[in-house]
Amino acid sequence: MYADIPFYLSVIFVLGGLAALAWSSDAFVDAASKIARALGVSPFVIGMVIIGFGTSAPELCVSALSGCSGHSSLSLGNAFGSDIFNIAGILGVAALIRPLVVKPAVVYGAVPALVAIAVFSCVLVGTGDGFSRLDGILQLAVFLVLLPAYCWFDQKTNPPAPSGAAEEPAVKPGAKGLLGAWIKLGVGLTVLVGSSHVLVWGSVDMARALGVSELVIGLTIVAIGTSLPELASAVASARRGEHEFVLGNIIGSNFFNTLAVVGLAGSISPFEKISPYILRRDLPVMVLLSLSITLFGINWRKPREKGCISRWEGAIWVCVFVAYSLLMAYQELHG
């Protein structure tokens, strides 16, 4: 449990924690990418696994620390709220900037898996007995099986370019650059954990001072704050027309949030008390938003060819997120 602190200090902790999270996650991802290239890891693995983990590292640290300190609503709200914001907020904004091209592997492979794990979470949380350590272990086990399977599926459906094709030469850092990358990785991870602790402390105390539930704070301030790395990378990628990176980053992050983040937090400290709003409101919204990626991205005229998520569909996502936020506010005010 966290000690009471003045309200102004709670605000400083939240804002400072978010700023430190943004810097440390960016440093962590950059260093991990350099190390991966030096070790000869494929670009696909860098994008889906390393970048996906790096941008989800804030959620992982915040949820694990929240669970350990007995704030399960903040922990689950952060993970599930980040999933909702990733789709309705980040993908919505990215589609408004530039319509997103969606390949069939995403429509028929990644998204159904995303929907399945969201439904799986509904089943585990909806048992009525809280979220046990066994539930957390099951989440982690599914993650360890599903992510490699998806990587294999994507590589099979997207074979590498022929050896004769022109491609940019891989630039590997020297020994000095690699040492610097390892140092940056360690510093980034240290700041990441420390800033997550400060953010959780400030968020819990802010919830007390404002008289709102930790779930709402987790679903809004903390969830959006820890999703800033995904938002920054998605906006930059959308401007450059890198559609696969936008979708891959968000889908990969949601894999981590739903399975690894919740699973690790539950394995460390089981959640005995779970807000009914998580099952009645948040998880159904997450399932429907995950399913909407297929509904918006499929090419209905030629299902085997690439589809496109248009600007007006991106606007629908943004409107859904606004409506969802208003619903939370209404339910909070009316008890």
Best CA proximity match to 198, nearest among 70, 9, 27: 9
Sequence-distant (6+) residues with CB within 8 A of 156 are none
Q: What pLDDT shows up at residue 73?
A: 66
Evaluate whether 290 touches 110 at the Cβ level (below 8 Å): no
Q: What pLDDT shows up at residue 309?
A: 93
Per-residue pLDDT of the chain (335 residues; tens, 9 = 90+): 456 678 888 888 888 877 887 777 677 667 766 776 776 655 545 656 666 666 666 667 767 767 666 666 667 777 888 889 889 998 999 999 999 988 887 888 888 988 998 898 888 877 656 778 888 899 889 988 887 776 676 666 655 544 444 444 445 556 667 788 888 877 876 776 677 667 767 776 777 777 777 677 777 777 776 676 667 667 766 777 767 777 877 888 888 888 888 888 788 777 777 777 888 888 899 999 999 999 999 999 888 888 999 999 999 999 999 999 888 878 877 76
Q: What pLDDT shows up at residue 165?
A: 43
Pinpoint the alpha helices (H) of 98-242. Answer: 104-105, 111-125, 133-157, 175-210, 214-217, 223-226, 228-240
Q: What pLDDT shows up at residue 303?
A: 87
Q: What pLDDT shows up at residue 108?
A: 86
Q: What pLDDT shows up at residue 229?
A: 66
Q: What pLDDT shows up at residue 91?
A: 92
Q: Which residues pair with 307 in a beta bridge?
A: 102
DSSP type of residue 165 = S
pTM above 0.85, yes or no: no
